Structure formats: C-alpha cells, structure tokens
C-alpha cells in the first residue's frame, strides 16, 4: 500500500498517515460562510483537500469526506435585511434562508468548475441545531461552560491544553488579540457557544434563550454527528487555526471526544505579489475569472503549481503559462488509452500533497510522449478529465474575409516584389492563434485552440 505522509499542524512535523480504521478514512474540512460569491482565496482549500480526497480514495477502500456550510451568520442576516429594506417580499427569516440557498448553489457551481468533487456530506449548520444545544448542555454539566444573560460561554481556562494547536499561551493570546469585552464573561478569553437572537432574525428555542449557536460549536457538533468521536483529518485555511480550530478542539476534548488526529492547514493567496483586498482593486471571485473566459481547469492548475503550505501568488503570467501547458497536454492525451497512475506521480502527491512536484513529473511525461500516463496522472490531480474539457477546442469563427484580404495582399506583393506587408499580416495572424498555410492555389487560414478573439477582431 502507498505510504502517505502529511504535515500535522498539531505536532509541527510531517508524519506517516495511519488511519484509525484502514477500511474507512474520515475527513472534515471547514467550509464557507455562505453570504456571497466565493473569492479565489476561498477556492484554495477546496482544491487542496479535493486532491487529498482523490489520493485517499486511490489508496483506501472507503473515504467519508465532510465539508460544512455555515448558514447562520451576521453577514447573511445583514444581506437579507438589506433586501427586506429594498422591498423584497417575505419575512426576514425567509430571506435569510433564500440568501443561503442562493449562495450555496453558486458555491457548488463555481467549485465544480475548478474540478472539485462534491464531498460525501455537506451539512448546513441550521440542520444540526439540536446536536449543538445538546453539546452545549453537556459542557455546562461538566463545568466547562456557563450561562449568563441569555448567552452561554466556554470556560477556556478549564481546558489545560488550550493553545497547543496554534502554539500560544492563553495569557499571550489575551495580550496580543482583540477579544470581546462583555460584563457577563468570567474571563476575557471565554468564547460564545450560544447567544440571544432578536424576534425577527433566525433563532431557536433553548434552555438559555431564543437564540443561535456560536460559530465554533457548529463544526464540533457536525463533525461528531457525521464522523464520530474521533476521526482522521481536519482541514482548512491557516487563518482558521486560531481561534476557530483551537476552540473546536477545546469543546470536543472537554466532551471526552478524541476529535481529529491530523490537522492540516493551507497557506493564503496573494494577487500579483500583494494581499488580495477590495481597497487595492485586486479582489475577484472565482466567477469573475470564469466569466472573463479563464477556464476552471486553468485556475486549478495555477493553484496546484504551488505547495499548499506555501503562500500562493495568482498572476496573469501564471494563468497564461497554465493555459498553454494544458492545451499541449490535452492534445497529447486525446484518444490515449487507460494506464495506472505513474509511480513518480503517486509518490509526489503522497508526500504531503507535493502537487508542484507532480506537475513537474507530468511535464516529463509529456516530453516522453506518454499520453496514457499523462492522462492517469491528471486524474489523480483533477486535471485533463472530460468533465473539465471542451474549453481547449478552437472557437468557431469565420475567417473568409481575412482569406480574401490576405490573397489580395499576396497578389499585390507578387506584382511589386515587396512581401513586407504579407509577412506582417502572417505574423499578426499567427500571433492571434491562426494557422497560416500558403500554396500556389492561395492561402488557407485555420483557427487553433487558444485563439485570441481580441487580436483577431483587431485584424478584421
């Protein structure tokens, strides 16, 4: 069996992966808060853990992959409230539900476009309120939580290992973090498990108030219900390490649950060397790129070109290079037969998801003309499959007018013996992605994959 090594944030080292049950590997990844379109940074953990999901399914007989949706949140409420104020029909609670449904559909569509396989379970937080209330009640009974003014707070100092995942002490966290100061808190670091809700906003009856859960308890309850008291892998972006994942661990461990054995975190994304932000004008969504004509497979390739634990820089140059590479690879694998995943590819991906190394191996397979091996390698990485195909085909355009112009230009050059104009037009056509074939009978033009429609339009 293939040996998989994964970097464990909890132990700060790369370890040989040893599942709790080799017949059934279980993984939980924190999903999005569904208040708007997914920006390209949101797609990074999806693609990273999609590759891990594919690897695990290649090696083990059964995998359960869970990724949640947070559909109860202040940002969702604010969007729904804005719609209600603008005259949208329905109660605020109905508008909140409609906004969640809308954004979840967008998210699944956009993530499918970048080649992500849907997880086995995609629970919504609002579907697990009863489990959250039960867990909160149990934490109160055990002395790890307390009710105060309709809220329930977790006693951080009741869990001695708090901070182990992020490597911080409680006192350091208090000194260096902005924590909510509230009169009902016993300690500044205590965090909310339950909070009151207004009459018109979404809320559920509980022993403490009509309210809703805090963010952190959601994942603990859903992971426990779907994967059991202990499971193999918990993943997400490294911005979740503290406080979200730290709080998940504290809650679950204080329930007596083993929780996750391996913690994996991907690094963040930049755009052209700068942090992505709306103020810099470099903030865009996955849908923005797709609507601009950037194929989802190209987005995926760019992401896989950088190791998941390193900061990733999205650049236009990388996009162009990825598209050119994928066009060449797709041409080679067209019609190629089936083959096992090449050993060097499997070895690279099994080494803590070294996708950049796997892509380097795929370049060598292309150079060797191994179309079947290249296709099999792509399957492990979520590339070169039929489900993402079609974008590399040449667009259907009429070149008749350009053929007439080119033939006239060529005929005039034959008379004047000055072929500089012919050479210039030929170069411009080739640069636009047009294959030019000249013979005594005349000129033939053919659009090739990668045709630049803007450059073609400039020649018309």
Which residues does the annotation place in the binding site for ATP?
Answer: 278
Q: Is 34 left (phi over 0), alpha (psi -120 to 50) or beta?
A: beta
Binding positions for Zn(2+) are 30, 219, 244, 248
Separation CA 142–CA 333 (nearest Å): 60
Cβ–Cβ < 8 Å for 29, 236: yes
Picking from 131, 175, 139, the residue whose alpha carbon sits closest to that of residue 155 is 139
In whole angstroms, what is the distance from residue 229 CA to residue 107 CA? 29
Binding site feature residues: 30, 219, 244, 248, 278
Whose structure tokens read 């005349």?
442
Query: In this structure, are residues 301 and 378 in contact, taking their beta carbons and an 8 Å threshold?
Result: no
Supply the Cα-derived Rg of the chain in whole angstroms.
27
Rounded to whole angstroms, how far apart are CA atoms 403 and 341? 45
Distance from chain centroid for Cα 329: 24
DSSP state of 341: P
Cβ–Cβ contacts within 10 Å for residue 172, how many? 12
Residue among 31, 5, 421 nearest 244 (CA): 31
User: Which pair of structure tokens corresponds to residue 379?
Assistant: 């399957």
How many other β-carbons are positioned within 10 Å of the β-carbon of residue 296?
21
């Amino acid at each position: 069996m293939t040996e998989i090594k994964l970097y464990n944030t909890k132990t700060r080292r790369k370890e040989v992966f040893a599942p709790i049950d080799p017949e059934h590997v279980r993984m939980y990844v924190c999903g999005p808060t569904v208040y708007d379109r997914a920006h390209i940074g949101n797609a990074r953990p999806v693609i990273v853990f999609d590759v891990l999901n594919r690897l695990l399914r290649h090696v083990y007989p059964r995998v359960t992959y869970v990724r949640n949706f947070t559909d109860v949140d202040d940002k969702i409420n604010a969007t729904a409230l804005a719609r209600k104020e603008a005259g949208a029909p329905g109660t605020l609670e109905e508008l909140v539900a409609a906004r969640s449904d809308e954004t979840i559909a967008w998210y699944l569509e956009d993530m499918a476009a970048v080649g992500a396989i849907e997880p086995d379970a995609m629970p919504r937080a609002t579907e697990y309120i009863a489990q959250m209330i039960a867990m909160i009640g149990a934490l109160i009974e055990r002395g790890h939580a307390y009710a105060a003014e309709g809220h329930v707070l977790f006693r951080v100092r009741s869990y001695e290992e708090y901070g182990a995942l992020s490597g911080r002490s409680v006192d350091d966290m208090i000194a260096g973090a902005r924590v909510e100061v509230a009169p009902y808190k016993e300690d500044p670091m205590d965090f909310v498990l339950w909070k009151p809700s207004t009459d018109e906003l979404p809320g559920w009856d509980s022993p403490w108030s009509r309210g809703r859960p805090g963010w952190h308890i959601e994942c603990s309850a859903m992971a426990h219900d779907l994967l059991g008291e202990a499971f193999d892998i918990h993943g997400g972006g490294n911005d979740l390490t503290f406080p979200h994942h730290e709080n998940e661990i504290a809650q679950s461990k204080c329930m007596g649950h083993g929780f996750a054995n391996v913690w994996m975190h991907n690094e963040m994304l930049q755009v052209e060397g700068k942090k992505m932000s709306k103020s810099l004008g470099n903030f865009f969504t996955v849908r923005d790129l797709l609507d601009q004509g950037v194929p989802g497979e190209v987005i995926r390739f760019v992401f896989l070109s950088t190791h998941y634990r390193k900061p990733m820089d999205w650049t236009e140059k990388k996009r162009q290079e990825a598209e050119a590479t994928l066009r060449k690879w797709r041409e080679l694998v067209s019609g190629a037969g089936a083959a096992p995943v090449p050993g060097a590819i499997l070895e690279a991906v099994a080494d803590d998801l070294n996708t950049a190394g796997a892509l380097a191996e795929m370049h060598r397979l292309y150079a060797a003309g191994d179309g079947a091996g290249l296709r099999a390698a792509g399957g492990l990485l979520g590339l070169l499959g039929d489900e993402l195909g079609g974008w590399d085909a040449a667009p259907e355009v009429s070149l008749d007018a350009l053929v007439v112009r080119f033939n006239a230009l060529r005929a005039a050059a034959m008379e004047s013996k000055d072929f500089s104009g012919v050479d210039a037009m030929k170069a411009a056509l080739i640069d636009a992605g047009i294959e030019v074939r000249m013979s005594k009978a005349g000129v033939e033009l053919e659009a090739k994959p990668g045709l630049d429609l803007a450059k073609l339009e400039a020649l018309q």
